[in-house]
């Protein structure tokens, strides 16, 4: 994702923001801070209307509609796999303003009227005032899809110090300056002690907040479900053993990428590589089974994007489709499949 406008923050704005973040405590953990910086109704990046009008996001659905069309084709295969049930729910996580939804539904409406009449579509997005953990929905058949949802979840941060992983908290000083402090924590229990020992001294890692609870919640929506997750990140935990004093955080503001979460609060996006190892573990403990994964480039190829590309005459559109495939950009994203309920699905996108 990238954003192409830069909005600076006045001292007064900063003071008001910090007052709210630290209203209950002089210190907060990173996930509390990031949750505020991204999703606070008045100041959060995703709620800030002024910024939203000026900002320019680039994600796959926004790059070109062929992305949504390929996902739609994959979903049609799921509906066929379940033997064309009368009701099929597509639950999209973090679908923002609904671009992916529009592309998927338009394609299905045009090319599969029978399926279209069976569709229920839920776009659950925090920025639209939806609270995922409070969504009360259950149906028999369907899928859960997401693009760049898990990388946008607030995370906590940890640093190796004196042989142990300490949690990093943020403390507000008298002059509204922010300082990091390290504290003992039990939030790293998911990692084995012998693994923690191998993390280089001073290196930082991030752990998504609430991921286990979110995965458990996802398992309650549908009795039979394929989950299609598209995001950037890593699956091999050894990735955390690379000496990384700044961790895997990325902030996007204007054309710039930086790693400083603590400045210009609310005016920049804050994301982090998805730890697919943890995601997979939590999904499995919630009853999902991993079917496999591939790169977005391969997924789109498998779904037939070449035919779409060849049938398109417009050179700009052709360029947009190419950027969906770029292995150094969106094409390098991971496409994961999980299944709940039956465990026999063979996704076309993987084969």
Ligand X SMILES: C[S@@+](CC[C@H](N)C(=O)[O-])C[C@H]1O[C@@H](n2cnc3c(N)ncnc32)[C@H](O)[C@@H]1O
Residues that bind ligand X (CB under 6 A): 1, 46, 59, 61-62, 93-96, 124-127, 130, 132, 147-149, 152-153
CB of 67 to ligand X, least distance (A): 9
CB-wise, 35 or 302, nearer to ligand X?
A: 35
CB of residue 184 to ligand X, shortest distance in Å: 28
Q: Do residues 80 and 42 touch, judged by C-beta distance below 8 A?
A: no
Shortest distance in whole angstroms from residue 36 CB to ligand X: 13
C-beta of 59 vs 185, nearer to ligand X: 59
Q: Which two tokens stand for residue 344?
A: 């026999």
The rounded distance, in Å, linking the Cα atoms of 13 and 32 is: 19
Pairing status of strand 139-147 against strand 222-231: parallel
Output the smallest distance, CB 61 to ligand X, in A: 5
Please tell me the distance from the alpha carbon of residue 348 to that of residue 30, in angstroms, as a whole number: 39
- Which residue lies nearer to ligand X by CB, 132 or 321? 132
Closest by Cα among 324, 231, 313 to 278: 231
Strand segments, DSSP code E, in the chain are: 27-29, 88-93, 119-124, 139-147, 155-161, 164-172, 178-183, 204-208, 222-231, 233-234, 249-253, 256-258, 269-272, 274-275, 289-295, 334-340
Q: Which is nearer to ligand X, 47 or 188 (CB)?
A: 47
Task: Report, in Å, the least distance between residue 328 CB and ligand X.
Answer: 19
The residue (of 99 and 224) whose beta carbon lies closer to ligand X is: 99
Closest CA to 71 of 273, 280, 304: 304
Torsion of CA 350, 322, 279, 259, to 10 degrees: 160
For residues 215 and 260, the answer to whether their CB atoms sit within 8 Å is no
Residue 102 or 235 having the CB closest to ligand X: 102
- Give the whole-angstrom CA distance, residue 317 versus residue 194: 50
Measured from the CB atom, the residue of 145 and 168 that comes closer to ligand X is 145
- The distance of closest approach from Cβ of residue 146 to ligand X in the complex, given in angstroms and rounded to an integer, is 7
Task: State in angstroms the smallest separation of the CB of 127 from ligand X.
Answer: 3
Q: How far is the CB of 342 from ligand X (least distance, A)?
A: 27
Q: Which of 214, 154, 157, 153 is CA-nearest to residue 185? A: 157
Task: Give me the least distance between CB of 90 and ligand X, in Å please.
Answer: 13
- Which residue, 46 or 345, is less far from ligand X as judged by CB? 46
Task: Give the rounded distance of the alpha carbon of 347 from its chain centre.
Answer: 21
Closest alpha carbon to 55 in 254, 272, 251 = 254
| Neighbour-count burial for 82-111, b at 16+ CB within 10 Å, e otherwise | beeeeebbbbbbbbbebbbbebbbebbeee
Nearer to ligand X, 98 or 287 (CB): 98
């Amino acid at each position: 994702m990238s954003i192409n406008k830069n909005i600076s923050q006045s001292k007064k704005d900063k003071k008001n923001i910090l007052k709210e973040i630290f209203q209950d405590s002089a210190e907060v953990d990173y996930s509390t801070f990031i949750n505020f910086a991204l999703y606070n109704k008045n100041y959060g990046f995703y709620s800030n209307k002024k910024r939203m009008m000026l900002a320019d996001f680039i994600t796959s659905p926004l790059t070109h509609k062929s992305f949504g069309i390929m996902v739609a084709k994959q979903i049609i295969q799921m509906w066929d796999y379940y033997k064309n049930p009368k009701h099929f729910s597509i639950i999209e996580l973090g679908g923002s303003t609904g671009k992916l939804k529009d592309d998927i539904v338009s394609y299905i409406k045009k090319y599969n009227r029978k399926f279209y009449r069976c569709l229920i579509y839920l776009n659950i997005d925090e920025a639209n005032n939806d609270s995922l953990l409070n969504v009360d929905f259950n149906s028999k058949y369907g899928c859960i899809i997401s693009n760049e949802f898990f990388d946008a979840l607030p995370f906590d941060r940890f640093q190796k110090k004196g042989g142990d992983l300490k949690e990093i908290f943020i403390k507000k000083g008298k002059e509204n300056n922010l300082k990091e402090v390290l504290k003992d924590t039990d939030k790293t229990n998911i990692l084995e002690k012998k693994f923690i020992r191998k993390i280089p001294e001073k290196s930082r890692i991030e752990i998504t907040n609430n991921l286990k609870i979110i995965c458990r919640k996802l398992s309650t929506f549908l009795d039979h479900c394929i989950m299609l997750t598209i995001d950037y990140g890593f699956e091999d935990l050894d990735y955390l053993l690379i000496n990384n004093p700044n961790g895997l955080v990325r902030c996007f503001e204007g054309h710039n990428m930086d790693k400083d979460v603590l400045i210009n609060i609310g005016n920049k996006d804050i994301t982090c590589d998805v730890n697919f190892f943890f995601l997979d573990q939590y999904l499995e403990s919630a009853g999902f089974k991993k079917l496999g994964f591939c790169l977005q480039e391969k997924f789109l190829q498998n779904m037939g994007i070449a035919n779409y590309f060849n049938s398109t005459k417009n050179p700009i559109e052709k360029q947009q489709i190419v950027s969906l495939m770029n292995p150094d950009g969106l094409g390098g994203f991971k496409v994961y499949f999980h299944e709940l309920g039956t465990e026999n699905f063979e996704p076309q996108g993987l084969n």
